[in-house]
Structure 1
């Protein structure tokens, strides 16, 4: 049995006695044909089971895919479980919906890097929410020369959306120092390779991500101003989740019971640190102060009446502004937008306990 011929733009044009361009415009540029003609073309196309021009063929003709790539430094599942990332993607998607663009999520932590690289090849531009410029996929993305916006990423030659991490973290540590705390530890994200390393604030953080580097500098600004030795402030790396914060806090407080404050570089770490402190009987804020960064809602295990002392940043706004720069670019070229974060004093920070009363 002979197979029925598949309908095409040309066959529809022939059936209706119109030009191939008219049929193409009915789908791709409807303003260029009358409503009556477009309705006639679409109705006939449906009757012969024609669903529209082939997207792959259109991409080859125009050189555009109608999608933007969002690169982030975690596994794919993290983007759908982390409150900060969810809000960030919500901001991007709100603009994409308005502009008719799709999103391709490209996680850098992927067990099959060839899939990651394939995804990066089918987009018209990038939003880089991944901190490590040395990563092979980041280098490949930048080398393509496509429109690119970086978020919390140090790349002066590109458009960017940045948060005042340094000033915000300085405010956090200055707040603790003003409360009399002199035995502090920082709980931060792991470097690109490895986790769990213990360092001090006097170590070199120049090879860290932009976010970690800026926040460390803010911590240094505060302790330097107060005359506290950088070497006295411990820095503990752990995975950025509640479990990571809980493990880090429990370990730090057992090894250094004199600690009276934990400065966490995310709210998820801080909420975990609260659980870690509770597991060994440390009262917050009575014998221990804990601070975070992000301004996300607490998980179900935290007391609803206890508000975290933290830095509130607007992740949704960051995503929205990044997408606007990429999809609605100004004629002037490179754009840099600062999103101000707000330091908020909650219930998890208080005066340092007297010596020997911990």
Structure 2
């Protein structure tokens, strides 16, 4: 059995105290450069990499990590371009602070509840159900928390996008082009199947509700009642299903509750919750023999890199996701600093702009 190397092992070999060895790793300013180099060289020779992180965290009262709570699966965090850009901006903002990033899901696995059990100095709650038990656990732990794309709450710093204004501009763009038969494809339905919905059923998620409200702000005064399709996820394949539901209504399936197809004329334009969903709608339209935008216009939201790659390039609403990530991480580091010094935190609520970007996926409706 290989003997375990400890601080005392190194201290005995160098001929110094255990505290001196500890200082070489955690308080280098307490030692001369020559002595510290000697200690580190011996540690390297013996295969010692440093004090145990858990013990160091216990001694310092800090873990050196912050969490990001996600409602969706971790798969979406790594495959959705908006989510990956957001997380990348957070990591970039945190780099100078030395804080690491831990991704947490709102789901549980056996007895493990990540929001309750994972050690962290603070957390970002990113587009989660406010009634989620995971959000409740974070708040009950009384660690610094910042809400992102959440309903703002008193006393908690928040970073949001002006989704309602951006969505209103997108819908008004289609109204001004002359469209009167519109569809909406959004996410948030519970279960495995998409369904036709109404405004009253749009209750899942602050961002979804804000965008629905913005679209209706422009459509209702024009006398337009859109057909709304809600989907379980925001992936392109879900957008494809939603596009087919709107553009080629299926035969009703009695086995799927709420799957009644829409009635009335086929939409000449579709507003989508995200660029990812919009890409699926475009593909569905093209597979049905419809031309975009000559037969049907499609509008996304986010202005992700995908929007410019699509053919035709996608009209969308731009949110500055990098600014959102930097602002969220900066708010959290400020909250953590206030927590450590027991000084009042700044519970500011920041709202970032959302602006319409017109490209080639929208045009006047067919005659």
Q: Normalising to structure 2: TM-score of the pair? A: 0.86
- In the TM superposition, residue 56 of structure 1 has moved relative to its aligned partner by 1.2
Q: Show CA shifts across 1:186-241 (max 9, x none).
A: 1000235554121133x253x32110111111112112333x15xx2111012311
User: Does structure 1 residue 313 correspond to structure 2 residue 319?
Assistant: yes
**Aligned pair count?**
344
Matches within 5 A, 1:275-314: 275-298=283-306, 302-303=310-311, 306-314=312-320
2: CA distance, partners of 1:276 / 1:18:
72
User: Does structure 1 residue 140 correspond to structure 2 residue 137?
Assistant: yes
Gaps spanning 5+ residues in structure 1: where? none
- In the TM superposition, residue 18 of structure 1 has moved relative to its aligned partner by 3.4
Q: Show CA shifts across 1:24-55 (max 9, x none).
A: 22111222322222112212222333221111
More deviation in 116-125 or 247-256? 116-125
User: What's the counterpart of residue 205 of structure 2?
Assistant: 209
Q: Show CA shifts across 1:229-263 (max 9, x none).
A: 5xx21110123111111111112112354311100
Pair 1:285–1:68, CA change in 2 (3 A)? same
Q: Is the 8 A contact 2:301 2:317 kept in 1?
A: yes
Q: Show CA shifts across 1:110-152 (max 9, x none).
A: 6x25445278522111111132011222211221111111110
More deviation in 334-343 or 131-140? 334-343
- In the TM superposition, residue 155 of structure 1 has moved relative to its aligned partner by 3.2
Gaps spanning 5+ residues in structure 2: where? 250-263, 339-344
User: What's the counterpart of residue 218 of structure 1?
Assistant: 214
Pair 1:89–1:57, CA change in 2 (3 A)? same
Pair 1:135–1:294, CA change in 2 (3 A)? same
Q: Is the 8 A contact 2:115 2:135 kept in 1?
A: no
Matches within 5 A, 1:62-81: 62-81=60-79
2: CA distance, partners of 1:300 / 1:353:
24
**2:357 equivalent among 335, 344, 347:** 344
Q: Show CA shifts across 1:251-309 (max 9, x none).
A: 21123543111000000111110111112222211121110001122389943xx2201
More deviation in 3-12 or 20-29? 3-12
User: What's the counterpart of residue 228 of structure 2?
Assistant: 235
User: What's the counterpart of residue 37 of structure 2?
Assistant: 39
User: Does structure 1 residue 153 correspond to structure 2 residue 150?
Assistant: yes
More deviation in 82-91 or 25-34? 25-34
2: CA distance, partners of 1:301 / 1:109:
34
Q: Show CA shifts across 1:59-92 (max 9, x none).
A: 2222321111111122122211111111111111
1: CA distance, partners of 2:309 / 2:58:
52
Pair 1:130–1:109, CA change in 2 (3 A)? farther
More deviation in 47-56 or 140-149? 47-56
2: CA distance, partners of 1:317 / 1:159:
16
1: CA distance, partners of 2:346 / 2:330:
13
Matches within 5 A, 1:88-167: 88-108=86-106, 112=109, 114-117=111-114, 120-156=117-153, 157-167=155-165
Q: Is the 8 A contact 2:43 2:49 kept in 1?
A: yes
Pair 1:283–1:120, CA change in 2 (3 A)? farther
User: What's the counterpart of residue 329 of structure 2?
Assistant: 323
More deviation in 52-61 or 29-38? 29-38
More deviation in 121-130 or 284-293? 121-130
- In the TM superposition, residue 14 of structure 1 has moved relative to its aligned partner by 4.4
User: What's the counterpart of residue 169 of structure 2?
Assistant: 171
2: CA distance, partners of 1:4 / 1:219:
67
User: What's the counterpart of residue 242 of structure 2?
Assistant: 248
2: CA distance, partners of 1:220 / 1:78:
28
Q: Is the 8 A contact 1:69 1:120 kept in 2?
A: no
1: CA distance, partners of 2:138 / 2:115:
11
Matches within 5 A, 1:267-278: 267-278=275-286
